[in-house]
């Protein structure tokens, strides 16, 4: 086993680098994709549910995001990160609407 690792160390390192690069691309690509649709989803939830229904709007936006992103990305984007992205989208929506 030790000999195998020594003879193939370059291949093993290359594969690890490729896997890490793939994970990073998936993670950051997914974030970009999520940010692109969040403003629309937040605006749609506001229109559909109106005022005073923050928890319902939040839940509907989260559900819509999870329907649209790849399955692998769901494991790479934490709930906290998604919440922060939603808050940013809400702020942008309010800014556009002049609230």
Distance of CA 19 to the CA centre of its chain: 19
- Structure confidence by residue, pLDDT tens digits, 24-82: 766 677 777 788 888 888 888 888 888 788 888 899 898 888 888 777 777 777 888 88
Residue 1 per-residue DSSP state: -
Tokens of 36: 């692109």
Using CB atoms within 10 Å of the CB of residue 88, give its burial: 0 to 12 exposed, 13 to 18 middle, 19+ buried. Answer: middle
Q: What is the pTM of this model?
A: 0.67
How high is the pLDDT of residue 88? 92
Q: Quick one: which of 70, 73, 47 has its CA closest to 60?
A: 47
- In the chain, domain spans: 27-97
- Report the alpha-carbon distance of residue 81 to residue 84 in Å, rounded: 5
């Amino acid at each position: 086993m030790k000999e195998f690792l020594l003879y193939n160390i370059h291949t093993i390192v290359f594969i690890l680098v490729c896997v890490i690069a793939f994970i990073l691309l998936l993670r950051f690509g997914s974030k970009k994709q999520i940010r692109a649709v969040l403003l629309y989803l937040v605006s749609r939830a506001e229109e559909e549910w109106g005022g005073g229904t923050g928890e319902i709007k939040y839940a509907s936006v989260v559900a819509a995001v999870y329907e649209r992103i790849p399955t692998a990305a769901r494991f790479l984007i934490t709930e906290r990160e998604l919440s922060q992205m939603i808050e940013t989208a809400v702020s942008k929506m309010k800014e556009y609407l002049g609230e």
